[in-house]
Chains A and B, each alone.
Chain A
Amino acid sequence: KQEVTQIPAALSVPEGENLVLNCSFTDSAIYNLQWFRQDPGKGLTSLLLIQSSQREQTSGRLNASLDKSSGRSTLYIAASQPGDSATYLCAVVEVSSGSARQLTFGSGTQLTVLP
Protein backbone atom coordinates (compact mmCIF):
# COMPACT_ATOMS: atom_id res chain seq x y z
CA LYS A 1 0.00 0.00 0.00
CA GLN A 2 1.32 3.40 -0.98
CA GLU A 3 2.40 5.62 1.91
CA VAL A 4 3.26 9.29 1.55
CA THR A 5 5.32 11.03 4.22
CA GLN A 6 6.02 14.73 4.58
CA ILE A 7 8.81 16.16 6.66
CA PRO A 8 8.84 18.38 8.61
CA ALA A 9 5.29 18.41 10.00
CA ALA A 10 5.67 22.09 10.84
CA LEU A 11 8.11 24.79 9.88
CA SER A 12 8.50 28.40 10.94
CA VAL A 13 10.83 30.75 9.06
CA PRO A 14 11.47 34.49 8.87
CA GLU A 15 10.26 36.37 5.83
CA GLY A 16 12.62 36.33 2.87
CA GLU A 17 14.14 32.95 3.60
CA ASN A 18 14.35 30.21 0.97
CA LEU A 19 12.96 26.90 2.15
CA VAL A 20 12.50 23.28 1.13
CA LEU A 21 9.60 20.98 1.93
CA ASN A 22 10.08 17.24 1.57
CA CYS A 23 7.78 14.48 0.41
CA SER A 24 8.56 10.77 0.13
CA PHE A 25 6.49 7.87 -1.18
CA THR A 26 6.98 4.14 -0.83
CA ASP A 27 5.83 2.86 -4.25
CA SER A 28 7.62 4.44 -7.19
CA ALA A 29 5.03 3.22 -9.72
CA ILE A 30 3.23 6.56 -9.99
CA TYR A 31 1.64 8.52 -12.81
CA ASN A 32 2.30 11.90 -11.26
CA LEU A 33 2.84 13.86 -8.08
CA GLN A 34 0.96 17.01 -7.19
CA TRP A 35 1.66 19.71 -4.61
CA PHE A 36 -1.22 21.57 -3.00
CA ARG A 37 -1.68 24.44 -0.63
CA GLN A 38 -4.43 24.51 1.99
CA ASP A 39 -5.36 27.53 4.04
CA PRO A 40 -7.09 26.89 7.40
CA GLY A 41 -10.60 25.53 6.95
CA LYS A 42 -10.42 25.85 3.19
CA GLY A 43 -10.10 23.58 0.20
CA LEU A 44 -6.95 22.64 -1.66
CA THR A 45 -5.28 24.84 -4.25
CA SER A 46 -3.16 23.06 -6.81
CA LEU A 47 0.39 24.46 -7.01
CA LEU A 48 2.35 22.17 -9.27
CA LEU A 49 1.84 18.88 -11.09
CA ILE A 50 4.87 16.77 -12.05
CA GLN A 51 4.36 13.88 -14.44
CA SER A 52 6.33 10.70 -13.76
CA SER A 53 8.49 11.38 -16.81
CA GLN A 54 9.45 14.85 -15.61
CA ARG A 55 12.16 15.91 -13.17
CA GLU A 56 10.86 19.30 -12.11
CA GLN A 57 8.24 21.97 -12.57
CA THR A 58 8.39 25.68 -11.83
CA SER A 59 5.74 28.29 -11.15
CA GLY A 60 6.85 31.72 -10.00
CA ARG A 61 8.74 31.36 -6.73
CA LEU A 62 7.91 27.68 -6.51
CA ASN A 63 9.99 24.83 -7.86
CA ALA A 64 9.11 21.17 -7.40
CA SER A 65 11.44 18.29 -8.20
CA LEU A 66 10.73 14.60 -8.55
CA ASP A 67 13.09 11.64 -8.18
CA LYS A 68 10.78 8.75 -8.88
CA SER A 69 13.39 6.03 -8.42
CA SER A 70 14.16 7.12 -4.87
CA GLY A 71 10.56 8.00 -4.09
CA ARG A 72 11.19 11.64 -3.27
CA SER A 73 9.94 15.08 -4.16
CA THR A 74 10.86 18.50 -2.87
CA LEU A 75 9.03 21.80 -3.02
CA TYR A 76 11.35 24.79 -3.01
CA ILE A 77 9.92 28.18 -2.08
CA ALA A 78 12.12 31.16 -2.82
CA ALA A 79 12.03 34.44 -0.90
CA SER A 80 9.19 33.35 1.39
CA GLN A 81 6.43 35.81 2.30
CA PRO A 82 3.87 35.87 5.15
CA GLY A 83 1.21 35.12 2.55
CA ASP A 84 2.89 31.76 1.93
CA SER A 85 1.79 30.62 5.40
CA ALA A 86 -0.42 27.56 4.89
CA THR A 87 -0.32 23.79 4.97
CA TYR A 88 1.43 22.24 1.99
CA LEU A 89 0.32 18.79 0.87
CA CYS A 90 1.84 16.41 -1.61
CA ALA A 91 -0.08 13.60 -3.23
CA VAL A 92 0.67 10.86 -5.75
CA VAL A 93 -1.44 9.03 -8.30
CA GLU A 94 -0.43 5.38 -8.46
CA VAL A 95 -0.31 3.30 -11.60
CA SER A 96 -2.36 0.69 -9.75
CA SER A 97 -5.25 3.15 -9.45
CA GLY A 98 -6.19 2.33 -13.04
CA SER A 99 -8.33 4.79 -15.00
CA ALA A 100 -9.56 6.52 -11.85
CA ARG A 101 -6.70 8.76 -10.83
CA GLN A 102 -7.24 8.92 -7.11
CA LEU A 103 -4.66 10.70 -5.02
CA THR A 104 -2.84 9.37 -1.96
CA PHE A 105 -1.92 12.23 0.34
CA GLY A 106 0.73 12.95 2.91
CA SER A 107 -0.15 14.59 6.21
CA GLY A 108 1.22 17.94 5.12
CA THR A 109 3.74 20.49 6.30
CA GLN A 110 2.33 23.48 8.17
CA LEU A 111 4.39 26.50 7.14
CA THR A 112 4.47 29.79 9.04
CA VAL A 113 6.40 32.72 7.55
CA LEU A 114 7.04 35.38 10.15
CA PRO A 115 7.04 39.05 9.10
Chain B
Amino acid sequence: ETGVTQTPRHLVMGMTNKKSLKCEQHLGHNAMYWYKQSAKKPLELMFVYSLEERVENNSVPSRFSPECPNSSHLFLHLHTLQPEDSALYLCASSQDGSGPAGTEAFFGQGTRLTVV
Protein backbone atom coordinates (compact mmCIF):
# COMPACT_ATOMS: atom_id res chain seq x y z
CA GLU B 1 0.00 0.00 0.00
CA THR B 2 1.36 3.38 -0.95
CA GLY B 3 1.73 6.15 1.61
CA VAL B 4 -0.82 8.34 -0.16
CA THR B 5 -4.10 6.82 -1.32
CA GLN B 6 -6.60 8.49 -3.62
CA THR B 7 -10.16 7.42 -4.41
CA PRO B 8 -11.75 6.99 -6.80
CA ARG B 9 -9.12 6.22 -9.43
CA HIS B 10 -11.48 7.13 -12.26
CA LEU B 11 -14.53 9.40 -12.28
CA VAL B 12 -16.90 10.42 -15.03
CA MET B 13 -19.36 13.13 -14.13
CA GLY B 14 -21.85 15.39 -15.84
CA MET B 15 -21.60 19.14 -15.64
CA THR B 16 -24.50 19.33 -13.19
CA ASN B 17 -23.23 16.62 -10.83
CA LYS B 18 -21.60 17.01 -7.43
CA LYS B 19 -18.81 14.64 -6.52
CA SER B 20 -15.85 14.48 -4.16
CA LEU B 21 -12.30 13.23 -4.48
CA LYS B 22 -10.67 11.74 -1.42
CA CYS B 23 -7.04 11.57 -0.37
CA GLU B 24 -5.58 9.84 2.68
CA GLN B 25 -1.96 9.83 3.77
CA HIS B 26 -0.41 7.29 6.14
CA LEU B 27 2.97 8.99 6.50
CA GLY B 28 2.34 11.23 9.50
CA HIS B 29 2.87 14.34 7.39
CA ASN B 30 1.44 17.72 8.33
CA ALA B 31 0.90 19.22 4.86
CA MET B 32 -1.28 18.07 1.99
CA TYR B 33 -1.71 19.35 -1.54
CA TRP B 34 -3.98 19.14 -4.56
CA TYR B 35 -2.38 19.37 -8.01
CA LYS B 36 -4.01 19.31 -11.44
CA GLN B 37 -2.32 17.68 -14.42
CA SER B 38 -3.83 18.51 -17.80
CA ALA B 39 -2.62 17.12 -21.09
CA LYS B 40 0.55 18.79 -22.38
CA LYS B 41 0.82 21.12 -19.36
CA PRO B 42 3.02 21.03 -16.26
CA LEU B 43 1.43 20.06 -12.96
CA GLU B 44 -0.38 23.01 -11.46
CA LEU B 45 -0.73 23.57 -7.74
CA MET B 46 -4.36 24.07 -6.68
CA PHE B 47 -4.49 24.06 -2.89
CA VAL B 48 -2.15 23.65 0.05
CA TYR B 49 -3.08 22.72 3.59
CA SER B 50 -0.45 23.03 6.29
CA LEU B 51 -1.42 21.90 9.80
CA GLU B 52 -5.01 21.59 8.55
CA GLU B 53 -5.14 25.25 7.58
CA ARG B 54 -5.42 26.34 3.98
CA VAL B 55 -2.37 28.40 3.17
CA GLU B 56 -2.63 28.61 -0.59
CA ASN B 57 -5.47 28.96 -3.04
CA ASN B 58 -3.89 29.29 -6.41
CA SER B 59 -6.67 31.22 -8.19
CA VAL B 60 -8.75 28.11 -8.51
CA PRO B 61 -12.39 28.52 -9.61
CA SER B 62 -14.96 28.23 -6.83
CA ARG B 63 -16.44 25.12 -8.43
CA PHE B 64 -13.50 23.35 -6.74
CA SER B 65 -13.81 23.33 -2.95
CA PRO B 66 -11.17 21.68 -0.74
CA GLU B 67 -11.67 20.32 2.74
CA CYS B 68 -9.09 19.10 5.23
CA PRO B 69 -10.83 17.66 8.32
CA ASN B 70 -7.56 16.41 9.83
CA SER B 71 -3.91 16.05 8.92
CA SER B 72 -4.45 12.63 7.31
CA HIS B 73 -7.39 13.39 5.05
CA LEU B 74 -8.00 15.79 2.21
CA PHE B 75 -11.05 16.16 0.01
CA LEU B 76 -11.77 18.04 -3.19
CA HIS B 77 -15.46 18.74 -3.66
CA LEU B 78 -16.56 19.27 -7.24
CA HIS B 79 -19.72 20.91 -8.56
CA THR B 80 -20.91 22.29 -11.89
CA LEU B 81 -17.61 21.47 -13.58
CA GLN B 82 -16.77 22.22 -17.18
CA PRO B 83 -15.34 19.83 -19.80
CA GLU B 84 -12.00 21.68 -19.61
CA ASP B 85 -11.73 20.55 -15.98
CA SER B 86 -11.11 17.02 -17.23
CA ALA B 87 -7.64 16.11 -15.99
CA LEU B 88 -5.63 13.94 -13.62
CA TYR B 89 -5.98 15.26 -10.07
CA LEU B 90 -3.08 14.39 -7.82
CA CYS B 91 -2.83 14.58 -4.07
CA ALA B 92 0.51 14.89 -2.28
CA SER B 93 1.79 15.14 1.27
CA SER B 94 5.00 16.24 2.94
CA GLN B 95 6.34 17.19 6.33
CA ASP B 96 6.59 20.96 6.26
CA GLY B 97 7.55 23.62 8.69
CA SER B 98 9.37 26.86 9.09
CA GLY B 99 12.89 25.49 8.86
CA PRO B 100 15.10 25.71 5.78
CA ALA B 101 15.21 22.00 5.09
CA GLY B 102 12.76 20.66 2.58
CA THR B 103 11.30 17.21 2.88
CA GLU B 104 10.33 14.76 0.22
CA ALA B 105 6.85 15.06 -1.25
CA PHE B 106 4.89 11.87 -1.86
CA PHE B 107 2.07 11.59 -4.36
CA GLY B 108 -0.97 9.41 -4.73
CA GLN B 109 -1.91 7.57 -7.90
CA GLY B 110 -4.34 10.28 -8.92
CA THR B 111 -7.99 10.46 -9.93
CA ARG B 112 -8.63 10.58 -13.67
CA LEU B 113 -11.62 12.93 -13.99
CA THR B 114 -13.69 13.20 -17.14
CA VAL B 115 -16.43 15.83 -17.32
CA VAL B 116 -19.07 15.16 -19.95
Measured between beta carbons, the chain A residues less than 8 angstroms from B40 are 107
B55 nearest in chain A by CB position: A100
Q: Does B86 contact A (CB under 8 A)?
A: no
- The A-B contact count (CB < 8 A) is 77
Q: Does B64 contact A (CB under 8 A)?
A: no
Q: Which of B75-101 contact A (CB under 8 A)?
A: 88, 90, 92, 94, 96-98, 100-101
Query: Cβ of A105 and Cβ of B43 under 8 Å apart?
Result: yes
CA distance A49 to B90 in the complex (A): 19
Number of interface residues of A (CB under 8 A): 28
* A89 smallest CB distance to B (angstroms): 7
Query: Cβ of B105 and Cβ of A101 under 8 Å apart?
Result: yes
A binding-site residues for B, Cβ under 8 Å: 4, 31-32, 34, 36, 41-46, 49, 51-52, 89, 91, 93, 98-108
